[in-house]
Amino acid sequence: MSLVVDAFGQLGVEARLEGDAFDQGLYVIIDPHGVGARIQVKRYSLVTDEVAKRLLAQVRPADVPLLVVADRVVGTARKTLTSERVGFLDLRGHLAVRTGRLLIDADLAPMRQQALSLDALAGRAGLEVAAAVLMQPGQPAAVRVLSRQIRRSPSTVSEVLARLRREGLVDTNNAVTDTRLFWRLAEKWSTPRAMLRRLPAPSDTSAAAGLRLGLAGSEQEAGWALTDTAAAAMYGAPVAFRSDQVLDFFVPDQSVVRRAVTILGGAGSTAEAAATLRVPPVSAATAGRIDLASSQFDWPLAHPMFVALDLALDVGRGREILQAWTPDDRWPRVW
């Protein structure tokens, strides 16, 4: 249950789940590199004093402490549980844990159980998690590290990872091991494009501020990221690119698109366009950009994985290019 991980996370305590279901034995491992407490978890809707006493009558002395998780744990039941060293998580916002090596009694932000989706990539959070693990294929993904990286709650990240595991898209360590997750993400990668009549000059400081070009420190700052065919060619993909060809960019948000069309002019067709702009499905595509020394452009490039996702939108020529393209060792191939 990811809410348990999230509860400990609010207190700065790293935790991970062990097991798949409450009725099959679900445990939480708290701070495995520190205190290392292993706690069994049981779920209830409402815990009254009567329910607490009945639970304690069923609990046999064990080496593994018990944590009761409920939508509501009434005041008298809280005292009944903790007097017998049984912890509780009241989802309205309180966590109490009693073990031989750990003592926690703290208020939390209220938590709600989120409905499970059949599709791991159904929402924006799912896309963000998928993109994050694809950028580090073969490496284990820690919930709290990912939550900080994509600025989502640990419970949300944990839930998405659980869905990805259930679908076999990542392994038990949340690592990507094959290409299926990339192609699932590619199915959801399309977003509307706006055509520009002209491009701003990268050296134009007034445009850089107004249009959020992000050229002062492109690898740390979100900004315009060159993508699609032009970027693929710079990364060594087997694709021809002409100097007069339209450039395609990811930009940070829709306000940048509107401002760019107003300032630089919109184009009615690709024949009139100098560039296209689009807001990518995940914000990571406009951050962590690459200043490639061998590039013939003055613009930073999107990460190769995002460039590959753009190519994948073309089910014909784009996917042929992907089959023949393997970036250098800096960027593992995930397609």
Position 117 scores a pLDDT of 47
pLDDT (tens place) for every residue of the chain, 335 residues total: 567 888 888 887 877 776 544 434 467 777 645 556 778 888 887 899 989 998 888 776 566 788 999 889 998 999 999 999 899 999 999 999 987 777 899 999 887 654 444 578 988 899 999 999 999 999 999 999 999 999 888 888 988 998 898 888 999 999 998 999 999 999 999 999 999 999 988 777 666 667 989 887 655 678 999 999 999 999 999 998 887 889 999 999 999 999 999 999 999 898 899 999 999 999 999 998 999 999 999 899 999 999 999 999 998 899 999 999 999 889 999 99
pTM for the whole structure: 0.66
Provide the 10 A C-beta neighbour count for residue 213: 25
What pLDDT was estimated at residue 95?
95
How far, rounded to the nearest angstrom, does the alpha carbon of residue 141 sit from its chain's CA centroid? 10
305 neighbors 131 (Cβ within 8 angstroms):
yes
Sequence ranges of the domains in the chain: 2-107, 124-186, 194-324
CATH entry, 124-186, from 1.10.3210, 1.10.150, 1.10.10, 3.30.70? 1.10.10
DSSP code string of 114-181:
PPPPS-TTSSHHHHHHHHHHHTSTTS---HHHHHHHHT--HHHHHHHHHHHHHTTSS-TTS---SSHH
CB contact at 8 A, 129 and 121: no
Q: 277 has which bridge partners?
A: 194, 249
